Amino acid sequence: MKVLFPEKYGFCNGVREAIRKTAAAIDKAGSASLPCFVIGDVVHSSFVMEELGKRGLIRVDSPEEIKGPGTVVVRAHGITDMDRAILIEKGLEIVDATCPVVLHSQSLIRSNPEMTVVIGKAGHSEIVSLLGSGAAVLIEKPSDLKILQKGEYPAVVQTTFSVSVLDEIIRTAASMGISLKLLNSVCSASIDRRQALLRLAPDVEAFIIAGDRSSKNTVELYEVGKSTGKPSFLVSSPDEITSEILSFSVVGLTAGASCPDTLFQSIRRRLTNA
Ligand code: SF4
């Protein structure tokens, strides 16, 4: 099988830096015989979380679970202002690994005296952190717009959101007399990986997207692959490479922004050795 690669794929700067800061925080806490925690996942990759867990990182679901002294890493997609206040109150050392792009979105909401419309996927860690950064209301799809009165609203979009769904939401809003003034945009790392994938489409029979199903960025790459009409497969490990995948002669292989190179290379090897 021939495997082609897009010009951009895999780790973005935000993910790379979050992992680097977390590894350093684990080592520093460990040298003082203190635990190092994270609320949720540092990045959306079970592979990365397993590696960081082996190194000593303790994953919890909420700040209330953390007892005693130690360090807490703030995940790449940030946490709510309330959770941060609880961590400070507990006297924990905070290592902020929030991606600067997400920090910027949070600050836009925080500094806005009016209500901000947050456009994104309900329950995603970035959306949880954005909604917890000030007065904000979530719009996930065009039908959600009915909760808004006619008028003009500042809006912040999830960094990895679908550009086509965003356009649809803005168009539908306009037809309802609602003007959404976007204060940010889908992050360039997400856009670059999607556009690079599209450029590969004429040369391949199918797309393989390496990464985690919990990663919005990865799922969007998969959707972009499907939108070209080519069969597309999201695989989280080499074991998920099926005989159907191996039946293609030329595939395009890409990776979500939180997919580590070790995992990407093991998937590549499985494909090229076929
Ligand atoms: S995908 Fe964009 S927002 Fe998310 S961590 Fe990477 S650079 Fe930051």
Q: What tokens were used for 29?
A: 């806490």
Q: Which residue is closest in CA terms to ligand 1's atom 8? A: 14
Whether 196 and 263 map to the same domain: the answer is yes
Tell me the pLDDT tens digit for each residue of 227-260: 999 999 999 999 999 999 999 999 999 999 999 9
User: What is the distance between the alpha carbons of residues 172 and 202, in angstroms, rounded to a whole number?
Assistant: 32
Q: Which of ligand 1's atoms lies nearest the C-alpha of 43? A: 5
| Per-residue pLDDT at 184 | 94
Whether 89 and 112 map to the same domain: the answer is no
Where the chain has pLDDT below 70, the residues are: 274
Whether 19 and 91 map to the same domain: the answer is yes
Tell me the pLDDT tens digit for each residue of 159-186: 999 999 999 999 999 999 999 999 999 9
Is the CB–ligand 1 distance for residue 101 below 6 Å?
yes
- In the chain the first and final C-alpha atoms are separated, in Å, by 6
What CATH number does the domain containing 224 carry? 3.40.1010.20
Whether 61 and 25 map to the same domain: the answer is yes
Tell me, in angstroms, the distance from the centre of ligand 1 to residue 100's CA: 8
- Compute the residue count for the chain: 274
Tell me, in angstroms, the distance from the centre of ligand 1 to residue 255's CA: 14
Tell me, in angstroms, the distance from the centre of ligand 1 to residue 273's CA: 32
- Cβ contacts of residue 67 below 8 Å, gap of 6+? none
Q: What tokens were used for 252?
A: 């395009």
- Cβ contacts of residue 254 below 8 Å, gap of 6+? 5, 6, 9, 193, 196, 197, 200, 207, 208, 209, 210, 221, 225
Is the CB–ligand 1 distance for residue 74 below 6 Å?
no
| Per-residue pLDDT at 176 | 98
| Per-residue pLDDT at 114 | 87
Tell me, in angstroms, the distance from the centre of ligand 1 to residue 249's CA: 33
Range of the domain at 155: 102-182
Is the CB–ligand 1 distance for residue 251 below 6 Å?
no
Tell me, in angstroms, the distance from the centre of ligand 1 to residue 237's CA: 22
Specify the number of domains making up the chain. 3
Q: What tokens were used for 98?
A: 């929030």
